[in-house]
Amino acid sequence: MKRLYGGIDLGGSKIESVVCDEEGRVLASERRPTPVESAGALLEGLAASLRAACATAGARPEELEGVGLGAPGPLDAGSGLLLEPPNLGGLRDLPLAEPLARMLGAPCFLENDANAAALGEFTFGAGRGVRDGVYITLSTGIGGGLVLDGRLYRGASGTAGEVGHMILEPEGPLCGCGRRGCWEALASGLALAREARAALERLPAGPEREWWLARLSGRLEAVTARDVFAAEAAGVAPGPELVEREAGWVGVGMANLIQLLAPRRIVVGGGLSRAGERLLGRARARALELAFASATRELEIVPAELEAPGAVGAAVVAMRRLRGEA
């Protein structure tokens, strides 16, 4: 009988669960909204989601070798405790791994969500076969995970890999973390939308402004990163300049990571990565322009491959912890 693993990705708005085999093949997956009314409701939601994925896969939860849970940090991976997640309705110091293990009848392991996704991509996705790599998720925020010498790198405090909060411009725009000029405040989806709002306010009357008013039903302040990429594809100002600026900042952050870590591969996931080479191509060019040539000779910057990197990565966390690996 094949060994099966469960993986759960706990996000601020949704829970995604998978059941997969030891080669990372997804046998079943399930999604539902995240209940944040109480700790009990959250645990019930996590267990119910994984049970539903198990039912589709034709397995019982207690038949799983183990279950990994990826959650937004800060958390304590060793003790399975969620410390003070910013997007989960004020829940804090919440034990997750132990109660979930009791509810499911299988060992459970907690990991930071971006670290889990990094392990997923560097085990079964676009990073497989590589021992030194960086995973970056470009989304409403920017997250990341470091796989160095074949292992997840957590640092002395366990918080390594918070690439989105590298400070690139100390007097720059305010970040969600309270600091200024973090990479996330300059290059995330929210940062792109903020720049777009400012640019649209200045846009004079004319066909471009008409295009935006039609697309956004008259509410220019509702612009999102997705609208900016649509404008860029249609050649409507200020779409192209905004995407150029965005790609430039993505490249600056990557150049810093290259100088520091000299990775073999940078894997880029998250919603913004769906813009593909239009974003990644320019970001790569900028990063190569700024980093030492000697550090980039063998470097590849590629899009993520996994359908559900967070949930599959969580299953990889369970596989590795059961083998005694970090």
User: Residues interacting with Zn ion, by CB under 5 A?
Assistant: 165, 175, 177, 179, 182
Compare residues 126 and 185 and give the one whose CB is closer to Zn ion.
185
Nearer CB in complex with Zn ion: 106/182:
182
What contacts 59, CB < 8 A, 6 or more positions away?
A: 4, 19, 27
Paired sense of beta strands 151-152 and 142-148, if any: antiparallel
Measured between alpha carbons, how far is 150 from 147 in angstroms, rounded to an integer?
Answer: 6
Q: H or E stretch including 118? A: helix 113-124
We find the least distance from the C-beta atom of residue 12 to Zn ion, in angstroms, to be 17
Nearer to Zn ion, 165 or 321 (CB): 165
**Long-range contacts, 319-326 (Cβ 8 Å, 24+):** 319/5, 319/22, 319/65, 319/66, 319/68, 320/119, 321/66, 321/68, 321/109, 322/65, 322/66, 322/107, 325/151, 326/151, 326/152, 326/154
Whichever of 179 and 226 has its CB closer to Zn ion, that residue is: 179
Please choose, from the candidates 237, 227, 232, the residue with its C-alpha nearest in 3D space to the C-alpha of residue 194: 227
Q: At closest approach, how far in Å is the CB of 176 from Zn ion?
A: 6
- CB of residue 279 vs Zn ion: minimum separation in angstroms? 21
Q: Measured from the CB of residue 181, what is the shortest distance to Zn ion in angstroms? A: 8
Query: What count of other Cβ atoms lies within 10 Å of the Cβ of residue 261?
Result: 16
**Is the Cβ of residue 165 or residue 286 nearer to Zn ion in the bound state?**
165
Q: How far is the CB of 175 from Zn ion (least distance, A)?
A: 3
Q: Which one, 68 or 144, has the nearer CB to Zn ion?
A: 144
What CA–CA distance (Å, rounded) separates 290 from 273? 21
Give least dist CB 177 to Zn ion, A. Answer: 3
